[in-house]
């Protein structure tokens, strides 16, 4: 039974408070008519989709400056969920307060450590305390609820609007090449469109040339790799799983052949899913 046939509104789980960048990415991908549901942690987002409390989930996969979101990749390894889409969001930070105030009078700035780090140059001119928190939008909510009048939070413009707060400065990130790529989680991946990507996880035997031999399956078929990353297996120290994205759909002949070839060489292969390339 397809949930969408009985419910009129698609529901999407995300991690964080209302106004989070993940929620913004979900709206960018699905359009404004979805119902977004906040969850405290990434494992809870996975669980919400697995237990069908929502139709889809959205999770951050990698940031163009910071690299991969390790927890997401570790959860994808153990979950039966599929990646059915990707969406890339330009991340632009705002300095947000309860009311208009001069930048000199700010005593404290709250935000996620990554957001604080991404605004380092801007913040170095402010001479205030920086307090790391678990969430950007959650910091806005907190300074509003606690009525902290000499504090600010760093979060999105959308978070400022949702909590009806003042924006003291926009675009305060040091580097404008700041994009986050999100994965859409579903029970199934997506059908062939002609402009697809596929994400897989595999591990090799620990012998010289093992990774080279695995990549040969893609190279001889001229399949373009868009990402490769190693992550600890968490079982044996210094043994790695490889996370690979390539262009093409797993149902295409050359991709099928490459995955078959890889299957013969690798200790294990898991296909996370094929999905339309974001553009």
238 binds its own copies (CB under 8 A): yes
Strand locations in 48-107, DSSP E? Answer: 56-63, 67-68, 82-90, 94-97
Name which position in 52, 228, 251, 263 contacts its own copies (CB under 8 A).
228
For residue 14, give every residue at least 6 positions away whose Cβ sits within 8 Å of its Cβ, in sequence order, or none. 20, 22, 23, 26, 36, 37, 38, 39, 45, 57, 58, 59
175 binds its own copies (CB under 8 A): yes
70 binds its own copies (CB under 8 A): yes
Q: Residue 75 is inside which H or E element, if any?
A: helix 70-78
Active-site choice (11, 136, 180, 204): 180
40 binds its own copies (CB under 8 A): no
Smaller CB separation from its own copies, 54 or 183: 183
Q: Are strands 11-15 and 35-39 parallel, antiparallel or unpaired?
A: parallel
The SS3 of residue 104 is helix
- Structure letter (DSSP) for residue 209: T
62 binds its own copies (CB under 8 A): yes
232 binds its own copies (CB under 8 A): yes
> Which positions from 74 to 113 touch its own copies by CB under 8 A, shown as an x/- string?
---------------------------------------x
149 binds its own copies (CB under 8 A): no
Q: Which residues pair with 82 in a beta bridge?
A: 186
Q: Least CB distance from residue 198 to its own copies, whole Å? A: 14
């Amino acid at each position: 039974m397809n949930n969408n046939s009985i419910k009129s509104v698609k529901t999407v789980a995300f991690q964080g408070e209302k106004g989070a960048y993940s929620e913004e990415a979900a709206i960018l991908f699905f359009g404004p008519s979805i119902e977004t549901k906040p969850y405290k942690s990434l494992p809870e987002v996975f669980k919400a989709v697995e237990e069908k409390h929502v139709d889809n989930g959205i999770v951050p996969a990698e940031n163009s400056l910071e690299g991969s979101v390790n927890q997401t990749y570790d959860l994808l390894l153990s979950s039966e969920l599929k990646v059915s889409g990707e969406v890339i969001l330009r991340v632009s930070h705002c300095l947000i307060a309860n009311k208009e105030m001069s930048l000199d009078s700010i005593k404290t700035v709250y935000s996620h450590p990554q957001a604080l780090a991404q605004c380092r140059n801007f913040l170095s001119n402010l001479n205030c305390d920086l307090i790391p928190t678990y969430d950007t939008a959650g910091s806005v909510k907190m300074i509003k609820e606690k009525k902290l009048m000499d504090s600010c939070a760093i979060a999105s413009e959308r978070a400022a609007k949702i909590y009806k707060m003042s924006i003291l400065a926009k675009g305060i990130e040091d580097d404008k090449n700041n994009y986050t790529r999100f994965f859409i989680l579903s029970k199934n991946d997506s059908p062939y469109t002609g402009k697809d990507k596929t994400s897989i996880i595999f591990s090799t035997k620990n012998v010289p040339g093992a990774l080279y031999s695995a990549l040969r399956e893609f190279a001889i078929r001229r399949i373009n790799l868009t990402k490769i990353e190693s992550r600890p297996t968490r079982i044996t120290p210094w043994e790695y799983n490889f996370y690979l994205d390539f262009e093409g759909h797993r149902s295409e002949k050359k991709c099928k052949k490459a995955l078959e070839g890889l299957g013969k060489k690798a200790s294990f292969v898991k296909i996370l899913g094929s999905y339309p390339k974001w553009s």
